Structures are given as C-alpha cells and as structure tokens.
Amino acid sequence: MNDVVLILRRCALRHWRLAWKQQLMLLAILALGTGVHVAMKLANRSALAGFERFTQTITSESDWTLRAAAGPLQEEWLREMRAALGGLPVNLIPAIEATVTPPALPSSAEVSIGAQPTWRLLGMDLIGLQNLRASFPAQTNVPVLAERSVFVSQGMARNQGWKEGSEVKVVINDEVISLKVAGIMPVIPDAPAPPDDLLLMDLPEAQRLLHREGEIDRVEVLSRDGAAFSGLREQSAILLKQAAKDRWQLLGHEDRHALAGSMTAAFRLNLNVLSLLALLVGGYLMFQALDGVVIRRREEIAVLRSLGVRERSIQMAFLAEAALLGLVAGILGDGLGWVGAQAAVMGVARTMTALYGASSATYASLNLDEALLGVAICIGTSLVAAWWPARVAAATPAAQILGRHSMHSVSGKIWRVEVFGVMACITALGLAELGPLRINGMRIPLAAYAAALFWLMGAGLAAGGLLQLFRAGENPVRRLAFSHLRQPSIRHRFAVAALTSAITMSTGMAVMIASFDNTMRGWIVRSMKADIYVSSAGAQSASSTSLISAATVDEIRAMPGVQEVAVVRHMAVNLPDGPVHAMGGDMAFAQRRDLHAWVQAPAQDWWYGNEPAALINESLGERLQKHRGDLIEMPTPAGLKPVRIAGVYADYGNERGTILLHEDRFREWFHNEMAWRVAVMLKPGADAETMRAALQHGHPGLSVFTQAHLRKEALRIFRQTFAVTYALEAVGVIVAVAGLGLALASLMLDRRKELATLRAIGFTTREASQACAWEGFGLAVSGVVAGIIAGVWLGWLLIERVNKQSFGWTLTFHFPGWQIAAMAVAVIGTGIVVSAFVGRWSSTLTVDREE
Amino acid sequence: MKRIVQTLVLCLGTAVLAQSPSTTSDGFALPQPGRVFSFPRDHGSHPEFRTEWWYVTGHLEEANGERFGFQATFFRQASPARQSLYLAHATLLDVKKKTFINEERLNREGWDAGASTTTLDVHNGNWSMNLDKDGVIHLNTTIRSDAKLSLKLTPAQPLVVFGKDGVSKKGTSPEAASHYLTFPRLDCTGTVGEVAVSGQAWMDHEFSSSQLDRNQVGWDWASLQLNDGRCIMVYRMRLRDGGNDPAGTTLAMVEKDGSLKHTDAAGFTWKPGRTWTSPVSGAVYPIEAEIRTQDEVFKLAPLNEAQEVGGAISGLPYWEGACDVLNGNGKVIGRAFLELAGYAGDLARHLGGAGVK
Amino acid sequence: MLEVHHVTKHYASRPILRDVSLALAKGERVALLGPSGCGKTTLLNCIGGIDRVDSGRIELAGADLATLTSDGLSLVRRRQIGTIFQFFHLLPTLTAEENIEMPLQLTGMAKAERLERVRALMQRVGIAHRSGALPAQLSGGEMQRVAIARAVIHRPMLILADEPTGNLDSATGAQILDLLREVTEEEGTALLMVTHSDEAARACHRVLRMLDGVLL
C-alpha cells in the first residue's frame, strides 16, 4: 500500500502537474463521456417533470390523486369522499384542467401544428387552496375572484409581457375568450416555481368557461400526520377506495410517474439508446486515453520496477490513479452534463411539446443522487478502461531489460477477442427472441435492450477479425501499414470496436428512423384522405383537451361546397394498466374511404352485431395482448362495458392505444357531443384552399388544415422527434473517430523505435505518415464495414423487437442506402485525415526522442 | 360574540346606511324586533342574512383535574351574489403544558362547507357540529393533525335570546344589530385525542346583515359562567377615538332560573388590565379585564397569555382566551372566555362594516 | 567515398562531437572504438543523416548531407546506406523475408528481380529456412542475420553498424562478424562499425578510437 501511495504521490501526481495539458485533455475526454450520459438523463427527467410539476407547484405533491375511470368526476361525489373520510384531517383539492392556446395571429396562411404554445388552464378552488399554506404566503390577500380572472406565473408574465390587469385572449375549445390577469403567482421558497405554461383559475369559473359545470377531472388528496393522527395516507386510501364503487380510482405518485412515463415512452426510448452509446464510446475513449498514459510513462515504470517496486503495486497505483481521474472527471462531467442538459432540455422540450403538449421548458437541475451516480459511472468506467493498461504497466520490464528489447505492442493474442465478440453476438441473437418485461402495464423490452448491448459489444470485438483481410500489393508503405493490421494489438482492436459500435448504432438508428419514416408516409397517405381537417385551435398536441362544439360542427356541415363531414369524438379513459384513448367515429365513412391499414381486418359491417364491438389499434393490442374476437372491459361513466374486438388496425398516431367505437355507441356511453376532429369532404369542384380560408375566417377558434398541409405537418412533427437523435449520433461518430486518432497516436508513441528503424532504412517522413494513414484507413474501413453490417441487424432489432415491444407498431424495414453510404464515406474520409495528421506528428517526434 | 367577519374581499364596501329597515341596500334581511323563533329551525342557517356564526367556547377537565380550553367557530358570510364563504376556527389550550394551538379554515359553500336551514348542522372540511333529535349537540374538530376534539354538548340552562325584543344592538345605526341566541351553559363530555374529558361550554348563534358601525374599530366581549349558577354576557364596541360606543355596550345577566337582565353602558364599567404582545401579529391585547357593576366586581384572569386565534388566511387575528373569574377578593368564582377583536390593525379598514358580536 | 570534415555537435550545449574528421574509402572496413557516451552513436546518426551536425561537413559519394532536405536524406539512406543495430530493430509485423525486401521495395525494384535477390541473399546469410518467420520467432543470431541482409540487400556504398554483436553470445558474434566481412567484401561495401569488442575491431581494416567526442 505504501508503494502505491508513493507511486501516486511521487509519480502520477507529478505527471499531472508537469504534463497538465495532456492531463486536462484526458480529463476532458473522461468528463465528456460522463457528461453526455448525465445530460441525457437530466434532459429526460426534466422533460418528464413537465407533466408533474404544474400540479405540484400548487399543492405540493399529493398523497393520492383520484380520477374517474372514464370521463370526468362529478362534483357531487366530493361530498361522498368527504363523508367517507369521516373526521380525518385530510384535504381534498378538486381540479379541472384543459389545454388552451393563444389565438393565431390573423393571417391567411396555414400555420404549423405546435407553432402556437399550448398552455394549461388549471381550475382549482382558490378559496379552499388557502387552507394549504404551501400555496399562498400568509401576507397574500385572498385573490379577488372576478369573472375571467386568471393567475399566471412570474415567468409567464415576463415571457408574455403581461401585468396585473392585462387582457389575455385564449382559445378554449373552439371559442376565443378574453381573460384578465388578476395576479402573478408568487414564488414560494422551497416550493417548485409555477411552470411557465400555467393559467390558474378559480374552479367554478374554469368550469363555466369550459362548459363543464359540476365536473372535475381529478382530486388531489393531501394529508400530513401529526401528534393526533398517524397513517393518514394509508387510512384515507382505504376509506376512499371503499367509497369508490368503481366511480373513481386512486393513484399514488408512483402511478403518476408511471403514467407520465408511459406517455413519453417512445421518446425516452430514443434517449436511452443514445445514452447507452455515449457510455460505450466513452468507455473506449477512456481506455485509449489511459493506454496512452501507460505508454508515455513506460520508462518511469521500468525504473520503478528496477528499484524493486512490485508489479501489483504498479497495477494498483494505476487503478488508483484511474479512479482519481474518474473522480475529478466525474465531477467535471456532472457540470458538463448539467450544461449540456440545459441545451438539450430546450430541444427536448420542443419535441415533447409537439408530441405530448406537456412540457414547459423546465430547468434541468441535478440532484445529489444523480451527481453521485454520474461520478460513480465515471470512476467505474475509468477502472474498467484502466484495467488492461494497468496490467500492461505492471508487466513493463525493468529498465535494464527495457533497453535491450525492441518493445513492441503487446499483441492481443492473449485473448482471442474475436471469439468473445462472436459469442456476444450469438448471445444477442438469443436475447432477441425473448419477450418484453411487463410491469404495471408498462412494457419494457429489457431483453431487447440487452441484446442491443451485447450486439454492440460483440460486433465491436468481432470486427477486429476484419483487419486480417487487409492485403498489400507492391507498395512498401501499405505493406508495412497492413502488416500491423494483420497482427492487431489490443489498441487496434479497441479503436475498431469503438468505431464499429458507433457506426452500428448510427446505422441501426438510421434504419429504424428510415423505416419509421417510410411506414409513416404510407400511413399518412392512407389515413388522411379528407379534403379539410378541422380541430380546435387549442389542439396543438396529441394531449390537448380542446374540442369543437356540436353547433360548430353543424355550421361546418351546412357550408356550401361541403359534401360530407365525419366527426371523431374523443375521451381519455383509464384501463387498469394505464390510460387509453376512447374514440367514436363514423365507421361507414372509414370503410368507404378505406382509412385503415389492417393488422387483423374486421368482418364486413361488424358494428351491426348484437354486442358492442370496437376496433383497437395495434399498440393497444400489443399492450393488452388482445386480438380480434377478444373482449375488453371498457370503462365508461356508467361503469365497465364489455366490448368485443372486431379488428386491429395499424396506427402511428399515438402509442397509448385507441379503442375506436362506432359514433352512436360512443355518444350513448360517454354523453359527449363535442367533436375532437372533423374531417370534411368537399363536393367535386370545390376548392380546398378557398374553403379552408372561409372556415378559418369564420371561426378564429378553429385550426383548419387542408389535406396537403396536414400530411406535411404530420411528417414534420414526426421527424422533429428524431432531431435530437441525429445530433447525438453525430457526437457518437465524431467521438469514435477522435478515438481512432488517439489510438493511432498511442500506437505511434509505442512504436518510436520502429519509426527510427524506418527512417534508418530510408523511409521519408511522408512515407512514414502515409503508412500511419493507411493503417488508420484500414481501421476506419473495418469499423465502418463491420458497423454497417451489424447495424442492419440492430435496425431489425430496434424495429421488430424494441419498438414492437414498446409500442406495438409494425414498421416496414427500410434501408436508407444513400444516407449510410454518405456516412461511411464521411467517417472513412475523416479517419484518413485524422490518421495522416497523427502520422505527420509521429514522424516529427521520432528523432527528438531517439537520443 | 365574535366576529371577525372575514369578509374577505367579498363584502368590501357593503352595508351600512340602508334606507329600508327590513333589508339592506343589497337585499339582505335585517333583524326584526318581535321575531318569533322556532326550533330546531332557527338553530340552522339563515341565508337571507349576510352574516351568521355558531360559536362554542368551553373549559374541559380530565379526570385528574388537568384543564383544557377550546373553541370551535363556524362563520358564514354571504357575498352580494348570495355565494357564501365559510370561515372556521378551532383552538385547543392545554393549561398544564401551556400549549395553545389553533387552525383557521376557509371554504366556499358547497361540498366541503355548508349549513342546514332546518336544524343545527354545519360543517367545514372535516369539522362538524350538529344537533341530534335528543337535543344533544355533537361537535367534532381537529387542529391540523395535532389535536382531535370530539364532544357531546347538552344544554344545562335554557336558551336565551339577547337584546330587546329579540334584537341585539351593536351601534347607533338601525342596521347594526343581530339576532343573538345563546346556550349560556352546556355540559360537555367527550375526548381530547384519546383522553376522556368533561366540562362546560357556552354557545352563541348570531345572525345579522351588518353589525359594525362606521366609526367602530373593534370590540371586547366576554362570557362568564359563575359557580353560583349565574352567567354573564358582556361586550363593548370600541370607537376609533378609543372610547366605548354607548349604543354598542351591554352587560346581560342570566340568572340561574334563566331569567335575563340587561344593563346598558351606564350600568357597568370595563377596565382593561395588563397587556400581552403577540409575537405573530405584533398586536397588543389587554388580556385582563375588570368588570364592575353597581355591586359586584369580576376580574378576568387568562389561563395562558398566548391565545391568539386565526389570521393565517383572513389576516384578521383576535384573542379569544380561557380565563378564570375572580371576585374583588381574588377568589375564583367562575370561568370565562374573553374576546378581544380589532387589535391587530384596524378592523374597520378591512371590513368596512360588518359585524361582531 | 565518405568524408567527415571537422564535425561538431552539441546536445543542450553539452558537446558530443568535437571537430571530428574521418574518411572511408570504398570497401574499407573501419571500427570505431570508445567508451559509452563518447559520441560514437551520434557520429553514426549524423553520417546516416538521421541527425544533423552543428558545424562541419559530411560528404557521402560527393554529396554534402547538410544541403539535403529530410526527404533527400531519406533517399540517400534508401540507396547508399545500410544500417545494423545492436538490438536488430526488425519491423516486428513483417516476416524475415519482408523485412529484407523492404529496402528494395522502397527503391521500386520489380517484384521478380526483388524476390530473386532476397532469396539469394537469404540463402547466402543462412536464413532461407526462416523466411516466413516473424522477428519475434527468431533467435538473436537469426535476427542479426536478417538485419545484415536488410542492410546490404540494396547494395549500399556504406554500412553503418552500431554494436552489431553487442547483444549476441561470442560464438554467434563471431559468425556474424565473419558474415559481415564476407558480405561487405563480396559487395565492395564500406563498413563503419561502432563496437566495444576487440574481436570485432580485428575484422576491420582500420580502428579509430574516440573519447569525449574527440577522435584520437
């Protein structure tokens, strides 16, 4: 142990001081790996938090949330809830919520979906809320509850330039309504700041504006144990469940997290996969960097050995140094990750808003657990990456021997690395056959993720085998270069492995995205056949609650030029395993227009049967493991109704799942006359654009799209989902190419004597550089070729397993040849440039060091 | 009694000066002399009046003699739009531990607060008070999760109606008046937490549409239960200039047999004693008082200094404290509650004219 | 053929070579003796164009090395010089045959002729049976034979040898010296050999002694 400390103090730390630039670089590399991982995690969490925060700011986190299984809760039920609780000091906080949006500026052009921000209108009892001291500080006067009064956060007031008394126009359902800012919500110390997308109203007023008197969406249940009461949370759960009689459900915060989680699964899948890549590539980078350290210090190690330091001590000292590096870099990485997350959050939030309408651009804060985890990951990866270099260091011969031997790279023959690689790949193939893990209605394709990881590692390791295939002709430079590839060192293998992993991942993602894109386009063409689509202007995202009134639908139907109108109605209902969209549509219309791509086609006229029947989308079928002919217990305001599955259709519009009922049945069960979407078919000769403009002009509270525009928008939003992906993939590949450069630099340092020999036998500087470049070329080509081959399978895995198991979407495999060719050329080209640069550098280095 | 009319917002600038003697300018009913009360109906709510409260204070003892003081108050305050807000206070004084805890609560009329119009049945959140068919009042309150009171109140003396002809005057204006019904002595049994207690309580039920005259800033009020079986209700409305409003100053003596005798401002004196400064509101309360009639002296001595109630939501705290009653010789001759309102800022400024007891 | 005129060389202001002059004729073998650190290897590096002199002049076949660029020097080494090291310094990833072939490949000789010459030379130095072996698989003597073959394969005018027997046992060393003498005589190649060994010195026509950077 003394030895270890001595080595660390006298040698390692001194190197840190003397070669601080290199050390800094190394730290930066390590920190980068950790940073990417941390950033992904934070961005992800912060995006998720957007779902939760807005209620928490008002109430602090509640013990339970009560929701109806289908439709709204009735305000009358609150009395029963209070009665059920008896004398328990428990607060019940009813809330109603809706999405609203500022009206579009008067302009004749069609706007983009999501261009308008989506705000949340939250109606809560502002009188009753004052009994919770978390909400308003004592000195705040009770708000004046005038009509159309709304309270906003400081952030929102600042962003929108609102002051107390400002008039604010919003679209609520299909009406443009003017509200008045009655106050700015104060920031309360120790409570989360109110989100920037929140409009808070008094409950009765919100109910009135939404035309939902007597209805509420949820009740937050809050209690705090004290001297006279303990176990209030559990007691209230029991009492409230007993009184529920299927009318309401109790959700704990785990359930709420799971709910938010399931809503964003697709997006998080993306981020998960990417942070996996960051970690893997980061590990390779660390290995290469530490390996370089060992080489640079070889002489020093040799001297230590001569002085009698034991191998074990040297190994320990290296591992300790790696851990120390990991610690410092981990802390830096946390900082870097935090900074990165702030940027990522903006991007992520935009995407989340478009997809789920959920996020306010929240601030991604780092908590202690995550910071520690980041550091631990960094230290762990450093240790794993340092393991081999530390062994090499320990195996360095003493100084007197060092001088005698031409010390060339330790060859990788010790392990038959390719064998491990192939074994890992075979494991991956096996894992790919396993099903998803099912927890609380969430499906986690754990085995498929594991398969992806094994495949990535396996492909990387096996890719070293490709190096054997390089053959040189007459050219002495290439002969020399390729001779190195045919006897690859661990460094060669790792450089190839890193590159292979990055390319595999990029190719896999590219294949998945291209397949998505292709499938989506087909689906859009098939399912979007009406001439004009109408929704509330508030419907800026999939989770919007804004609807169109029956009167407005009638007005549309009566317009000249309109041949047919199909209405889709919508209600969020909660199956035992999570939320699902209940929809009602005109089935005759759908059938006539052939809107559905069938996974399992229904019989003709299925809805005329005696028992209620419904179509479900593929996601739901996958989630529930149900097929045509099975029964679903459908929650409705009148209780559970059995519904026979008549058919299963492909649907890429949502991953929550949809139960599609015939319109009449929907209205009967849900008593809802509001329309969610209206599709308009025009008479022959009617001009869609003219109609659109007319409709829009007459109804500023509506969003009106022509078919062409909606199709374009659907694709745009879809593609936006993957915008972050591309950026991160690029980072992965760049890092891998940088790793290639690092690996070559280590190789060249290690080969200084050989370079001297080359010069002695007449190699010019240029030829020596070229040899290095060819070596780099070989590595790059191997990595790219292996990566593309492996990436095709990874793409298959992502499409057929991960995606299928996560959301149940059937995608048609599509290989984006040109895109991948371009990537291959770019990577190989960059690899050559980097290698040539290293070669050039190495040739200048040789002579100085020789004497 | 009490009143803190938490008028919150709602009744800014209401009131006062209506021309008609039967309703206020915005249509609320005014107390009418000679009104005939019927029960249990008149124990219930009177939404035609702007303001109403049910107010219980009492002294409790454990079997081992440990003493508690408690208060439970349900207020109703209507807006001109006839939307009622329900404010409520619950307190508990543990004399031995010298701890005083209280909770203020505000809810709008509806699922979580309300009062029956047929009998005594009021609730606010999980607090409730109701009259059963045997004439027993059931009171249940909590103070956050820190205390739980569950009491049965049985009248030990008959109900009295204060004031002249059933109307209790609070000032010179014809509107400053209330209907004021009181059980001056109720036997209590029940539990504080898990501990069995018994004792005696006082309950006011008062409804009006405007009680505070324009130049009144607050009031001092007390309810005394003497060991000899008599009870006293006494109040003085304080004017902006520091004096008492003679039109709003009364002492009412309830004899053991239930007979009632009112004494006007000229017939007694109220002399404030030592003060206590609230660390919370900064208000300075004269927490001792000496009430002197022609032939008797009653000194009110608080069981605890800190007995300030409410204000967390309303911003209008007051002092409502359990006291012993001492005679001129310093001998304990009964128990009392003393209410001191309008000391934490100018009540009239907040209320613009609403009532009190 | 090789002329060294008044060469001086410093490393970090420490004089390594002081006014060194010498000349080698075609086919002449010269041994350079001296203690460690006397500057022998530096002199060899300067002659081989791997290192540059501070002052003085080195002429090889009439060309002043100082006037040549780095690439020019590489061409000189490629065509005119063969180098043998104490630690052999074979290219570890190339076989024995490929190592020997490398200088010829650099000069761009046609493959058939190249192979013929390599094989003949391997036969000559006695390692034909090891042609496919990697350096790591060869013994010290075999490695040095390969190194000698690589040094002479392109028929240089001058061979620079730095302790060629220093890392070999005496019997093998003697064989290597014989081989070196025979090969240089057959090819008419001059040899400048740094050595500690008197035996090695005896294989040469002439012996120069060096001390503290000065040629005695």
Residue ranges of domains in chain B? 39-351
Do the domain assignments include residue A693? no
Neighbours of A598 (CB within 10 A): 14
Q: Is C49:C75 a contact under the CB 8 Å cutoff?
A: no
Q: What is the mean pLDDT of chain B?
A: 87
Q: Is A541:A356 a contact under the CB 8 Å cutoff?
A: yes
Instruction: Identify the band that residue A357 occupies on the pLDDT scale cut at 50, 70 and 90.
Output: very low
CA gap A345, A44 in Å, rounded: 8
Note the ipTM here: 0.90
**pLDDT reported for residue A404:** 44
> Chains touching chain C at 3 or more Cβ pairs under 8 angstroms?
A
Higher per-residue confidence, A830 vs A104: A830
Higher per-residue confidence, C87 vs A67: A67
Instruction: Identify the band that residue B12 occupies on the pLDDT scale cut at 50, 70 and 90.
Output: very low
- Write out the DSSP string of C144-184: HHHHHHHHHTT--SEEEEESTTTTS-HHHHHHHHHHHHHHH
Taking the CA of residue A488 and the nearest CA in chain C, the distance in Å comes to: 9
Higher per-residue confidence, A749 vs A331: A331
**Best to test chain B binding among A131, A133, A139, A233 (most B CBs inside 10 Å):** A131
Residue B3 has pLDDT above 70, yes or no: no
Do the domain assignments include residue A696? no
CA gap A750, A842 in Å, rounded: 10
State mean pLDDT over A657-665: 88
| Highest mean pLDDT: which range of A615-624, B325-334, C33-42 | B325-334
Q: Do A228 and B140 touch (CB under 8 A)?
A: no
Instruction: Give residue A593's domain range.
Output: 532-685
Do the domain assignments include residue A712? no
| Highest mean pLDDT: which range of A190-204, A729-743, B100-114, C49-63 | B100-114
Q: Are residues A673 and A558 in the same domain?
A: yes
Q: Are residues A102 and A12 in the same domain?
A: no
**pLDDT reported for residue B8:** 31
Instruction: Identify the band that residue B114 occupies on the pLDDT scale cut at 50, 70 and 90.
Output: very high
Which domains are present in chain C? 28-42+69-215 (3.40.50.300)
Neighbours of A693 (CB within 10 A): 16
**CA closest to B9 among chain A residues:** A144
Q: Are residues A678 and A621 in the same domain?
A: yes
Q: Is B55:B89 a contact under the CB 8 Å cutoff?
A: no
CA gap C129, A73 in Å, rounded: 93
Q: Are residues A743 and A786 in the same domain?
A: yes
State mean pLDDT over A557-573: 89
Per residue in C173-194, pLDDT (tens digit) is 888 888 888 888 888 889 999 8
Residue B17 has pLDDT above 50, yes or no: no
Q: Do C85 and A757 touch (CB under 8 A)?
A: yes
Instruction: Identify the band that residue B337 occupies on the pLDDT scale cut at 50, 70 and 90.
Output: very high
Q: Which residues in A lie closer than 8 A to residue B315 (C-beta atoms)?
A: 138-139, 141
State mean pLDDT over B214-223: 88
Print burial letters for A271-284: b (CB count within 10 Å at least 16), e (below 16).
Answer: bbbbbbbbbbbbbb
Nearest to A75 among B85, B111, B312 (CB): B111
Q: Enumerate residues 191 to 230 of chain A having a beta carbon within 8 A of any beta carbon in chain B.
A: 223-229
**pLDDT reported for residue A655:** 67
Q: Among A345-354, A441-450, A709-718, A754-763, where is mean pLDDT lowest?
A: A345-354
Q: Are residues A83 and A217 in the same domain?
A: yes
Q: Are residues A578 and A664 in the same domain?
A: yes
State mean pLDDT over C72-91: 82
Instruction: Identify the band that residue C62 occupies on the pLDDT scale cut at 50, 70 and 90.
Output: confident
The β-bridge relationship of strands A702-706 and A532-536 is antiparallel
**pLDDT reported for residue B326:** 96
Residue B11 has pLDDT above 60, yes or no: no
Per residue in A140-156, pLDDT (tens digit) is 444 556 788 888 888 88
**pLDDT reported for residue C38:** 83
Which residue's structure tokens are 């309830």? B254
Higher per-residue confidence, A556 vs A43: A556
**pLDDT reported for residue B211:** 63
In the three-class reduction of DSSP (H, G, I as helix; E, B as strand; rest coil), residue A543 is classed as: coil
A410 — phi, psi (to 5°)? -65, 125
State mean pLDDT over A462-486: 84
Which of these, A499, A467, A453, lies nearest to A281 by C-alpha position?
Answer: A499
Do the domain assignments include residue A633? yes
What tokens were used for C7? 């060469």
What tokens were used for A521? 């386009």
Q: Are residues A82 and A166 in the same domain?
A: yes
Residue A253 has pLDDT above 80, yes or no: no
Residue A360 has pLDDT above 60, yes or no: no
Nearest to A142 among B8, B144, B193 (CB): B8
Do the domain assignments include residue A37? yes
Query: Which superfamily is assigned to B39-351 in CATH?
Result: AttH-like domain (2.40.370.10)
Q: Is A131 on the interface with B (CB under 8 A)?
A: yes
CA gap A701, A175 in Å, rounded: 5
A633, A660, A685: which is the final residue of a domain? Answer: A685
**pLDDT reported for residue B332:** 96
Residue A517 has pLDDT above 70, yes or no: yes
Task: Provide the number of CB pairs (under 8 Å) joining chain A to chain C.
Answer: 92
**pLDDT reported for residue A137:** 39
Higher per-residue confidence, A56 vs A495: A495
Do the domain assignments include residue A707? no
**pLDDT reported for residue A786:** 93
**pLDDT reported for residue B355:** 37
Q: Are residues A233 and A101 in the same domain?
A: yes
Q: Is A400 on the interface with C (CB under 8 A)?
A: no
**pLDDT reported for residue B232:** 96
**pLDDT reported for residue B15:** 32
Instruction: Identify the band that residue A216 occupies on the pLDDT scale cut at 50, 70 and 90.
Output: very high
**pLDDT reported for residue A44:** 61
Task: Provide the number of CB pairs (under 8 Å) joining chain A to chain B.
Answer: 79
Predicted model pTM: 0.67
Q: Are residues A75 and A158 in the same domain?
A: yes
**pLDDT reported for residue B335:** 96
State mean pLDDT over A796-815: 84
Per residue in A522-538, pLDDT (tens digit) is 888 888 888 888 888 77
State mean pLDDT over A287-304: 74
Q: Are residues A554 and A517 in the same domain?
A: no
State mean pLDDT over A703-724: 78
Residue A19 has pLDDT above 80, yes or no: no
In the three-class reduction of DSSP (H, G, I as helix; E, B as strand; rest coil), residue A704 is classed as: strand
Per residue in A68-110, pLDDT (tens digit) is 878 889 999 999 999 999 999 999 999 998 888 888 766 656 6
Q: What is the mean pLDDT of chain A?
A: 79
Instruction: Give the count of domains, chain A.
Output: 4
A229, A251, A273: which is the final residue of a domain? Answer: A251
Residue A499 has pLDDT above 90, yes or no: no
* End-to-end C-alpha distance for chain A, whole angstroms: 35
Q: What proportion of chain A, given as a percentage, has pLDDT over 90?
A: 13
Q: Among A256-270, A444-458, B237-251, B253-267, where is mean pLDDT lowest?
A: A256-270
State mean pLDDT over A404-423: 60
Residues in chain B whose Cβ is within 8 Å of chain A: 8-9, 85, 105-108, 110-112, 125-126, 128, 140, 142, 144-148, 150, 193, 311-313, 315
Neighbours of B161 (CB within 10 A): 16
Residue B351 has pLDDT above 60, yes or no: no
The β-bridge relationship of strands C206-211 and C29-33 is parallel
Instruction: Identify the band that residue A349 occupies on the pLDDT scale cut at 50, 70 and 90.
Output: low
Q: Which residues in A lie closer than 8 A to residue C70 (C-beta atoms)?
A: 764-765
Per residue in C136-167, pLDDT (tens digit) is 888 888 888 898 888 888 888 899 888 888 77
Q: Enumerate residues 137 to 156 of chain C having a beta carbon within 8 A of any beta carbon in chain A.
A: 150
Instruction: Identify the band that residue A269 occupies on the pLDDT scale cut at 50, 70 and 90.
Output: low
Instruction: Identify the band that residue A241 occupies on the pLDDT scale cut at 50, 70 and 90.
Output: very high
Q: Do B142 and A229 touch (CB under 8 A)?
A: yes
**pLDDT reported for residue B233:** 95
Residue A2 has pLDDT above 50, yes or no: yes
A666, A685, A704: which is the final residue of a domain? Answer: A685
Taking the CA atoms of A151, A154, A155 and A159 in sequence, report the sign of the dihedral they define: positive
**pLDDT reported for residue A257:** 54
Give the contacts of A373 (CB within 8 A, at least 6 positions apart).
none
State mean pLDDT over A579-604: 85
State mean pLDDT over A178-199: 76
Residue A319 has pLDDT above 60, yes or no: yes
Q: Are residues A750 and A793 in the same domain?
A: yes
Residue B350 has pLDDT above 50, yes or no: no
State mean pLDDT over A541-555: 80
Per residue in A438-472, pLDDT (tens digit) is 766 566 777 888 888 889 888 988 888 888 888 87
Residue A11 has pLDDT above 80, yes or no: no
**CA closest to C48 among chain A residues:** A760
